[in-house]
Amino acid sequence: MSTNSVEQSKVKSRSETLNRMVEISLLLNSSLSIDAILTQLMDATVEIVHCESASVILMDENTQQLHFVAMPTTDAERSQKLKRIPIPLEKSIAGAIILENKAVVTNDTSQDPRHYSQTDSALGFKTSSLLGVPMRIKNRVIGALEAVNKIGGEWGEKDQHDLEVLASQAAIALENAQLIRKLRNANEELSQLDKLKTDFIAIASHELRTPLGVIMGYASFLKAEAQGELSDHATAVLNSALRMRNLIEDMTNLRFLKLKDIELAIEEVPADDIAQLAGSDVVSMAETRGHSLRILPSDSENLLVNGDRAKLLMALTNILNNAIKFTPERGTIKIRCIERPNEVWIQVKDNGVGIPQEDLTKIFEPFYQVEDHMTRRHGGMGLGLAIAKAVIEVHHGRIWAESPGPNQGSVFTISLPKAHPEDPEALKRITRH
């Protein structure tokens, strides 16, 4: 072969190696499992630097101890045993690579005093020649990658360079996979805590309801039977108990914040029915505050929506309860259903305290209340609107508030997709999104 063609074939083989390294780098970085990355790294090392096998030794961030995470054996028992043996940082080739942050080449490990031969016997693999490089992320060394027993010839500069590139790519891929694993674990812990909280709330609200029922029963009895001051005391007990029942109700409804569409019992519901039912739910409360509660006739007949009647009713009742609560006595509250292209709007308008512009979207966040919690005059936990929003959004609708300013009232609008009775598929579509 002429010198020229020898050069050409060298260039060709180099460019093939580089291409292969790009492919390997992409493969390593697209993997999210630590085991998959280690297997790919071992295979890539053998392929790129033509060696018999490879090892990956990582340093524990906390204990600073070195441990094998991948090694030249497929024997599961052996590798498990070896993973548990710490490699001395000061008396091993891996330790030297990590401490000095540079490559180590040895063509005869028996002559290298740093070689920690105990692992060879545990492995059943005789390491005679070795090329080890640090695994770095920027300037931080997280471990060492060692190629062992070169097949033919000795380790060259090219081998070292290629292995260093590979080790850096793998270090980043491993760190990413570790971060993702930590994130997944944290997520799992959070879900467990969340479940614990949900179970606690469900049990606590159920347990609170029973004694409250007894209190309310006796208080009503006393109120009816007693005269004068005693009757007033009974009324005070009853009112406080009612307030407490509302709070428990809010606690129970907390689960609706995470409502899923499969939990909906979808049917075609006339929007006016929801308005009428919600209105009658709150009428006595509105009367006690001297409000005028009016359900205005809608401009078109039979405005149908696809939805879960009970849950839509709950959402609208929450809005009405607020309108009653945040409107000074003898106010006016109006409910109206409006037809829109492809949508039906249910609107609640009051002439109460109004809402500052900057709070119009925040009030839909759980526990957000415009008034400071310590000084507020109105009861409630700040959940009603968040629950209403969750219910409406799971119906693929929207909910928003408008207010011209303080003491100028508020308007709450629920927008739901219009049901088309002539399109029976629409009913199913809502749960399929």
* Residue with Cβ nearer ligand ADP (291 or 309): 291
Cα 140 to chain center, whole Å?
31
Is the Cβ–Cβ distance between 379 and 364 less than 8 Å?
Answer: no
Instruction: Report the residue from 177, 314, 316, 370 that binds ligand ADP according to the rule CB under 6 A.
Output: 370
Sequence-ordered strand ranges (E) for 235-393: 267-270, 292-295, 304-307, 332-340, 343-350
Q: Does 383 bind ligand ADP (CB under 6 A)?
A: yes
Give φ, ψ of 104 to 5 degrees: -125, 130
Is residue 253 within the footprint of ligand ADP (CB under 6 A)?
no
Q: Which of 128, 382, 426, 427 binds ligand ADP (CB under 6 A)?
A: 382
- Judged by CB under 6 A, the residue of 410, 414, 417, 430 near ligand ADP is 410
Rounded to a whole number of angstroms, the minimum distance from the CB of residue 303 to ligand ADP is: 23
Counting beta carbons within 10 angstroms of the beta carbon of residue 4, is it exposed (0 to 12), middle (13 to 18) or buried (19 or more)? exposed
Residue 174 as a binder of ligand ADP (CB under 6 A): the answer is no
Say whether residue 334 binds ligand ADP (CB under 6 A).
Answer: no
CB nearer to ligand ADP: give 171 or 386.
386
| 68, 155, 256, 326: residue in contact with ligand ADP (rule CB under 6 A) | 326
Q: Is 363 in the site for ligand ADP (CB under 6 A)?
A: yes
Least distance in angstroms from the C-beta of 246 to ligand ADP: 9
Is residue 148 a contact point for ligand ADP (CB under 6 A)?
A: no
First CA to last CA distance, the chain: 67
Q: Which of helix, strand or coil describes residue 35? A: helix
Question: CB under 8 Å to 211, separation ≥6 — which residues?
Answer: none
Would you call 132 helix, strand, or coil by DSSP?
strand
Phi and psi, residue 257, nearest 5°: -60, -25
One of 166, 241, 315, 323 touching ligand ADP (CB under 6 A): 323
Residue with the shortest CB distance to ligand ADP: 380
Whether 78 contacts 124, CB under 8 Å: yes
Minimum Å gap between C-beta 387 and ligand ADP is: 8
Stretch in the footprint of ligand ADP (CB under 6 A) among 96-104, 146-154, 301-309, 375-383? 375-383
For residues 39 and 72, is the Cβ–Cβ distance under 8 A? no
In the set 70, 386, 392, 416, which binds ligand ADP (CB under 6 A)? Answer: 386
Q: Residue 32: CB partners within 8 Å, gap ≥ 6? A: 176, 177, 180
How many angstroms separate the CA atoms of 341 and 356, rounded?
A: 30
Residue 355 contacts ligand ADP per CB under 6 A: yes
130 forms part of the interface with ligand ADP (CB under 6 A) = no
Number of chain positions touching ligand ADP (CB under 6 A): 21
| By CB under 6 A, residue 350 contacts ligand ADP | yes
- Which residues form the interface with ligand ADP (CB under 6 A)? 318, 322-323, 326, 350, 352-353, 355, 363, 368-371, 380-386, 410
